[in-house]
Chains A and B, each alone.
Chain A
Amino acid sequence: MTEQTLAAEPINAKKEDLYSAKPWQLIWRRFSKHILAVISLWFLLILAFCAIFAEFVAPYEPFKVERLRTMAPPTGIHLFHEGQFVGPFVYAMERTRDPETTRVSYEPDTSEPLPIRLFVASSDYSFFGLFKTDIHLFGVEGGRRDQINLMGTDDLGRDVFSRLIHGARVSLSAGLVGVAFAFVLGLTLGSISGYFGGWIDGAIQRLMELIRSIPTIPLWMGLAAALPVVWDPLIVYVLITFILALIGWTYLARVVRGQFLALRNEDYVLAARLSGASEYRIITKHMLPSMTSYIIAALTLAVPEMILGETALSFLGLGLRPPVVSWGVLLQDAQNLRSISLAPWLLAPGGAVVLTVLAFNFLGDGLRDAADPYGQ
């Protein structure tokens, strides 16, 4: 009988690959089948790159006021000039004012194309305090008024695209820092709950239900309103993320607790214990490795909530305030009817929020589905 099993099928290299694939390889295989999740991952990676290197990616400074270029619509990008292909370029904008309504309007001056160049020199900035440079990812060369405004300008002539990129840094990092706070709280309380059980579990569960039953917006507003206006924007930023985390941890704690409870009853955990494994070994070798993929998925799914929270608070004027640039702050700037009808491009940060939130959700869904590559 032993021989019969031993003489089984010859080893097939391709199958062997699958059979000895590491857990994360299987997770990646499964994840990469989710097209939407993979696209979202790329989108978020690019967004993260833009946010980290905002000074480089943004063609202009976020605060640079251009009195003669207020409320300009997005600059059109062309490829053909007078029937001839010249590569991507823009036209300079001629500013005119309607004498009756005093309304400003812009007309392209089609006499001369302004080619879009990569790595152009423009305003100075310090690259993470390492060195000073004036190279930007893209831009147009020419006079002060020859600009490319991918998303138009606001009522002070500031470039909306540049502000959006700088806002991404604040909004994304607020989401991530908030999730990091929530992660610490959720992991600690969730594992205490799942590990000890009994009345401790009961008490933590009740606390979580209580927090979740409070309507979030009024709670945020109450907490945020308690922050003095005069405080340093950086402190306000940290406190805001902390407030978001105070509410967001319950979701993570629930995931962690559920995982702990499920894994405690796995036979392989009992097998390890019966082999003499210490609690430490059981937790680090058997429980945490199977939890990490779930926790990462849960963290990903928690980010959009944080971003929405920051946006909502700032939009209501209770969160971050100018001069800090976040998507919520930008949306608050656009918060009047005049801009919606005359300059709808000022709502671009809203689009950025929607896309980012969707991307995090798709990514999180993909990760969650791939988290257990062994389940059916």
Chain B
Amino acid sequence: MSELPIPNHASLPDDVLFSVRGLKKYFPIQAGWLKKHVGDVKAIDDVSLDIKKGETLGLVGESGSGKSTVARLMLRAYDLTDGQILFRRSNNEIVDLSKLTDREMRPLRAEMQMIFQDPYSSLNPRMTLLELVGEPMVIHGVGNAGEIKDRVAELLKVVGLRPEFINRYPHAFSGGQRQRIGIARALALNPSFIAADEAVSALDVSVAAQNINLLQDLQEQFGLTYLFITHDLGMVEHIADRVGVMYLGRLMEVAPTELLFSKPLHPYTEALMAAVPQPDPRGNRTRKRVPLKGEIANAANPPSGCSFHPRCPYAQAKCSAEVPALRTVAGGRQVRCHFAEELSLVGAVA
């Protein structure tokens, strides 16, 4: 099922921080008076990927393709339906998170954090910055009140907010500033891994750029590893070292960023890139829209064979009959298409 060999507990390549194998998440569909189980939304179906220490792995795909669910499963916000999630702790111990109960997960949460999309709903409006940013320390019993206060002030400085604001409530801040508060909270316990789920999608372009720069500075400063989720290909090209392309709960392609943009191997990747506005020769940006035809399919009832086949311009008979596997092809890239080698696709960098 999974293309990567499943390691036993102690073995994960030295440079790998997170390794996800054969991940599945089905959300039950309930109907009727007593919430009878009538089917499943296959939000994640067989996702395997490695994240290396210190890298930024981008995850792209249309809305509903399962990006957020992958991040939430990795951080064990949800129980998984199937699969393995191997994580390298800071002491180099390797743990399979999929086996842990909520309670057993708690001490590990210090090492992995999340930054959210919505800068409004992700901060409790009834808590001051001190309470918000200090909460992880309170929970993990790190330091006394004075130490927590000092640390929060320091964290605020780190993310570019004035420490004098420590007694303010979030409603005093703009969206971009709130996002920084969320970043400070995520940094509170010195995590090694941060999942940023559409972390700047809700912000204005210039504010988003500032916050992206901040994230990059922090990565350098603290040696962080990022899972960077976005539907904005331009953003991912700027920040990611490698990119995974998701469609309907499956990874369609994984490749180093430059290679992916210069030579996509999957028709879905090509279609996503074609929809991105290209800078035109005269320098002003125009939108050359070659939209994807059709809509993302229903995850409760995915198409047979290759789940992309109803929208794929290169689809052939085999595509609706056989599910393509995520294969490793020349150059160590991975792709889930029967005809990856035969097709010659156009990337974003012409």
Interface residues of A (CB under 8 A from B): 1-2, 5-6, 8, 11, 15-16, 18-21, 23, 197-199, 201-203, 206, 266-268, 270-278, 281, 286, 289-290, 374
Contact = CB atoms under 8 A, between A and B. Distances in A.
A272 B135 contact: yes
What secondary structure prevails in chain A residues at the interface with B?
helix
A2 B160 CA distance: 5
Contact of B109 (A23, A276, A286): A276
A271 B136 CA distance: 10
Contact of A270 (B30, B77, B165): B77
B168 A276 contact: no
Given A202-B34, A272-B135, A289-B126, A20 B168 contact: yes
B126 A277 contact: no
Contacts of B162: 6, 8
Given A23-B125, A198-B35, A202-B33, A273 B118 contact: no
B305 to A, nearest CB: 34
A18 B109 CA distance: 34
Contacts of B161: 5-6
B125 A6 contact: no
A374 B171 contact: yes
B213 interface: yes
B300 interface: no
Nearest to A270: B77
Interface string B148-165: 000000000100111011
Nearest to A268: B124
B292 to A, nearest CB: 29
Contact of A271 (B30, B106, B122): B122
B339 to A, nearest CB: 40
Nearest to A203: B34
A273 B30 contact: no
A270 B162 CA distance: 26
Contacts of B177: 5
Contacts of A273: 77
A274 B114 contact: yes
B116 interface: yes
A193 to B, nearest CB: 12
A273 B105 CA distance: 10
Interface in B162-217: 162, 164-165, 167-169, 171-172, 177, 182, 185, 188-189, 210, 213-214, 217
Given A2-B160, A270-B77, A271-B116, A277 B139 contact: yes
B13 interface: no
Given A1-B210, A20-B167, A21-B169, A271 B114 contact: yes
B213 A199 contact: no
A276 B139 contact: yes
A273 to B, nearest CB: 7
Contacts, number: 100
A276 B140 contact: yes
B82 to A, nearest CB: 22
A202 B168 CA distance: 41
B113 interface: yes
B44 interface: no
A281 B141 CA distance: 14
B239 interface: no
Nearest to A267: B122
B123 interface: yes
Contact of B128 (A20, A197, A268, A374): A20
B201 to A, nearest CB: 13
Contacts of A197: 35
A2 B183 CA distance: 14
A275 B139 contact: yes
A19 B140 contact: no
A267 B121 CA distance: 6
A375 to B, nearest CB: 9
B283 interface: no
A268 B33 contact: no
B294 interface: no
B116 A19 contact: no
B136 A268 contact: no
A214 B344 CA distance: 69
A202 B35 contact: yes
B137 to A, nearest CB: 9
Nearest to A269: B124
A19 B166 CA distance: 11
B323 to A, nearest CB: 32
B110 interface: yes
A281 B135 CA distance: 11
Interface in B98-117: 105-107, 109-110, 112-114, 116-117
Interface in B63-92: 72, 75, 77
A275 B184 CA distance: 13
A2 B109 CA distance: 28
A10 to B, nearest CB: 11
Contact of A20 (B106, B123, B169, B182): B169
B34 A199 contact: yes
Contacts of A267: 116-118, 121-122
B39 to A, nearest CB: 16
28 contacts: A1-B160, A1-B213, A1-B214, A6-B157, A6-B161, A8-B162, A20-B167, A202-B34, A267-B116, A267-B121, A268-B122, A268-B123, A270-B72, A270-B77, A270-B116, A271-B123, A272-B124, A274-B77, A274-B112, A275-B135, A275-B139, A275-B188, A276-B109, A276-B139, A276-B140, A277-B139, A278-B106, A286-B124
Contacts of B124: 268, 272, 286, 290
A2 B35 CA distance: 51
A198 B210 CA distance: 43
A253 B105 CA distance: 33
Task: Count chain B CB atoms within 10 A of each CB in A8, A203, A271 and give the residue with the most.
Answer: A271
Contact of B171 (A2, A19, A198, A275): A19
B169 A19 contact: yes
Contacts of A2: 160, 214, 217
B126 A274 contact: no
